[in-house]
Copies of this chain bind each other. A is one copy, B any other.
Amino acid sequence: METTTRNITVCIAEDQLIFRQGLANILHTFDRIEVVYLAENGLELLQRLEDQVADIAIVDFRMPILNGIETTRQIRERFPATKVLILSMYSEDEFVKSAIENGANGYLSKDDDPEEIAKAIYSIIETGYYLNDRTSKLLIASLMKKGGMKPTFSELKDQLTDSEKVVLRMICEEFTTQEIADKVFKSKRTVETIRTNLLQKTGAKNIAGLVMYAIKNEIIT
């Protein structure tokens, strides 16, 4: 049966099948929310949007093929009527800032309750955005960071060259520069250059930062 007020159409892009399906089932139980389709990654979502636009796109931050930020950017460009709610495993100020800068209308953690997500959906429909206390704090924290020319997290994954990705993975596997050089048949100096480029591109200060970047952006799994 149809109600007088139109339902809110929601689509979801999320690579974990169980989470994706679970989120859809739960959202269905909320009033006026209608989950119209699910996608495994950003690219698939964009293709589905071609056929049927939705009011809200719930987009996982970390996805294969096309990540959450890139997906958000393209949705904003090609489907301006669709509002984007980012879900992320990690609550990093840089992540929140990057999401908002690229046109996301809200940012929540995957640990949050479904009620919180439903609340965000209603709020985005009504006011155009939703930020709770935690994400607001993170956003402000990020904006207050001086010298904000640090490269935005997670937008660089696809800009990393194959060599850089290989070296990054091996760094995460606890290999030293010399060991990596031997394995990839390159000079130690070359690997050092690649590592330096990685530091510069990701904005990391050292090896620890590189590993954090790699995990949070799913360079490694």
Give me the interface of A with B, judged by CB distance under 8 Å.
15-19, 21-23, 25-26, 90-91, 110-114, 117, 171-174, 176, 204-212, 215, 221
Contact = CB atoms under 8 A, between A and B. Distances in A.
Contacts of A172: 208, 212
Contacts of A205: 174
A16 to B, nearest CB: 6
A211 B168 CA distance: 14
Contact of A114 (B21, B112, B174, B206): B21
Contacts of A206: 174, 176, 207
Closest 5 CB pairs of A and B: A22-B22, A211-B211, A174-B205, A174-B209, A208-B211
B208 A17 contact: no
Contacts of A111: 15-17
A211 B90 CA distance: 15
Contacts of A173: 208
Contacts of A176: 206
Contacts of A204: 174
A21 B18 contact: no
25 contacts: A15-B111, A16-B19, A17-B112, A17-B114, A18-B22, A18-B23, A18-B26, A18-B117, A21-B22, A21-B25, A21-B114, A22-B22, A22-B23, A22-B26, A90-B221, A172-B208, A172-B212, A174-B205, A174-B208, A207-B207, A207-B211, A208-B208, A208-B211, A211-B212, A215-B215
Given A16-B111, A111-B17, A171 B208 contact: yes
Q: Which of A18, A204, A221 has the most CB of B within 10 A?
A: A18
A163 to B, nearest CB: 18
Contacts of A114: 17-18, 21
Nearest to A22: B22
A112 to B, nearest CB: 8
Contacts of A26: 18, 21-22, 25
